[in-house]
Structure 1
Amino acid sequence: MAFPDLLETLGDWTSEIKGRLQSNFSLAPYTWFRVGGAAQLLFNPADEADLAFFLKNLPADIPVTVIGLGSNLLVREGGVEGVVIRLSGKSFSAIEVDGNYKVHVGAAMPDMRFATQMAKQGIAGFAFYKGIPGSIGGALRMNAGAHGAETKERLISARAVDRQGNVHILTPEDLKHEYRSCGVPADFIFTQATYQGEAGDPNELKTEMDEVSTYREENQPTKERTGGSTFKNPDGLSAWKLVDEAGFRGFELGGAQVSPKHTNFLINTGDATAEDIERLGEMVRGKVRKQTGLELHWEIKRIGCHAEGVSIPEFLEDGEA
């Protein structure tokens, strides 16, 4: 599906943009599932000021969607209307270390790379990021965590740009981090985080990260086209166990599959569509609710519209696929 060229309607002010604007740009290569439609207009800002200028001038009725590394993202085949913003480049991936192990890092920095760089510099407190396949911006939005540690535990502040182009410096109290969520308005775009690290031995930190990586490789389908953890864990329970007990381990629908290795991961086996993946997820949710009365909530972010004629109800029951 091709959208009308939005760039042609925005006006001359776009000539002052330093970043890249691309119409009807396929988002599939930007997601780990490698499926989905196009962005009506994709914007890669050059830096925070460029992002703020763009948002300040963009008409308020044009929707804005933000994506990161695409590790926990499903783009529907109908594509994403309006503007999709993706932070990339040196400006959003820079790391600066102040005295006393205070670290400033751009929102586009991959979590795993951040962990590695901190270890090399002998700065402890971030090894858990080695097991999170996302970016710092996503970690701020979702309070990403692994192996008993969470983003909020090291966070001092964050920078973000709102829909009107205003820059905010946010405290942990502003962020209101909880399990896989934060209290910042959905239209705020994170640009940088400031963390408090501590002194550590590079060799010990490398060993710690190697253990995280080994655990992940042994227990998760890291070599597959997947979107990370599909569902949030209900209070006191494990989503993977509920999915497993519902009989979905290895179950396939079209080109989508529930991972035989870890049942809270959905896989594109090679020719899946976004519809296959989302429909399979809703089948899982329907069966789990029917068996247990519990409602699994998506952790994967689903964006865009379905292809023409496609409709996927929530909590699909047996026989509805």
Structure 2
Amino acid sequence: MTAPAFPDLVPDLATRLPELRGSLKANAPLAGMTWFRVGGPAQVLFEPADEADLAYALAGLPADLPVTVIGLGSNLIVRDGGLPGVVIRLGRAFSDIAQEGEIITAGAGAADVKVARVAGEAGLAGLAFLRGIPGAIGGALRMNGGAYGGEVKDVLVGARGVDRNGRILDLSLADMGFTYRHSAVPDDVIFTQATFRGTPGDVAEIQAEMARITASREATQPVKSRTGGSTFKNPDGHKAWQLVDAAGCRGLVMGKAQVSELHTNFLINLGGATAAEIEGLGEEVRRRVLETSGVTLEWEIKRIGLAA
């Protein structure tokens, strides 16, 4: 499915932002930037040169122009009609990782697995759980990402971000307002960096823990498929996958989208699926779970954009 092109805003934005150093692209395809490999284009795709460039852009963009940020696209469905406004992608400029003593500093675009690896090589325990989260640090901050017994809130010292007015913010752990898979930081804040604290540990033991996490993921999750990670949050007192399984949804197919037969809290693009098919399948799963168990599943995957 091909989404219609949006009006080209790039010439106007280039005029408004003469000192911009990052790149602006009109009607940029986004499907290839998401793990599901679906979705329409960004009206404007902006890849900032650094944090200062991001702040400059946000301060100068029209206040009524929608702004959306994406990272590695792992926990994301971009709908088939694409995203109006400006889509900000934090690329290489935000992927640096540094370690000093017990402190790990990582850009919001750094892959969680790479942060876990740096910590492990430095003999810092406590961050191995990041090996089990398929995404980038920015998303982990936004969702208080967690897996295999650990959560971001357990190791975070602080974070940096830029708000919609271009103000650079330094945020403490308390400022993050973490709860289960949620941060209370306003949605318009774009995280740019995080600082974590590990605890001294044995390198071999930490690396063995990460190897166990890797083996567990490969044995129990469809990691080699076009998927988006855990689809639904675990409701209080329940596991989402068990509710989905009990509702008879294992292997359920809608078009070219399927509920994984290996792990029922994962949706899969079998090849050629539309975003509408994947989201529609998720909604059908929610309907069946509510019907059979009385529990309303909440999406963990973020769904953004316009229907085609």
Same fold, TM exceeding 0.5?
Answer: yes
Determine helix, strand or coil for the equivalent of 1:29: helix
Aligned to 2:84: 81
Determine helix, strand or coil for the equivalent of 1:25: strand
Unaligned stretches of 5+ residues in structure 1: 308-321
Q: Do structure 1's residue 304 and structure 2's residue 302 form an aligned pair?
A: no
Determine helix, strand or coil for the equivalent of 2:292: helix
Q: Could you report, residue by residue, the CA deviation over 1:231-255 in whole angstroms, capped at 9, with x for unpaired residues? A: 0010010000111011010111100
Aligned to 2:50: 47
* Contact preservation (8 Å) 2:290, 2:296: yes
Determine helix, strand or coil for the equivalent of 1:283: helix
TM-score (norm 2): 0.97
* Contact preservation (8 Å) 2:14, 2:20: no
**Amino acid corresponding to residue 93 of structure 1 in structure 2:** S
Q: Do structure 1's residue 96 and structure 2's residue 93 form an aligned pair?
A: no
In structure 2, C-alpha distance between the alignment counterparts of 1:211 and 1:292, rounded to whole Å? 33
Q: Could you report, residue by residue, the CA deviation over 1:39-76 in whole angstroms, capped at 9, with x for unpaired residues? A: 00001101000000000000100000111111110011
| TM-fit CA distance, 1:140 | 0.4
Aligned to 2:114: 113
Unaligned stretches of 5+ residues in structure 2: none
Q: Do structure 1's residue 248 and structure 2's residue 249 form an aligned pair?
A: yes
**Amino acid corresponding to residue 126 of structure 1 in structure 2:** L
**What's the C-alpha RMSD, in Å, of the aligned pairs?**
1.0
In structure 2, C-alpha distance between the alignment counterparts of 1:227 and 1:84, rounded to whole Å? 19
Q: Do structure 1's residue 196 and structure 2's residue 226 form an aligned pair?
A: no
Aligned to 1:271: 272
> How many equivalent pairs are there?
305
Q: How does 1:10-159 map to 2 (within 5 A)?
A: 10-89=13-92, 91-99=93-101, 101-159=102-160
Q: Could you report, residue by residue, the CA deviation over 1:262-311 in whole angstroms, capped at 9, with x for unpaired residues? A: 0000000011110110111111111111122211011010010000xxxx
Aligned to 2:182: 181
In structure 1, C-alpha distance between the alignment counterparts of 2:299 and 2:226, rounded to whole Å? 18
In structure 2, C-alpha distance between the alignment counterparts of 1:176 and 1:279, rounded to whole Å? 32
In structure 1, C-alpha distance between the alignment counterparts of 2:225 and 2:18, rounded to whole Å? 41
Determine helix, strand or coil for the equivalent of 1:276: helix
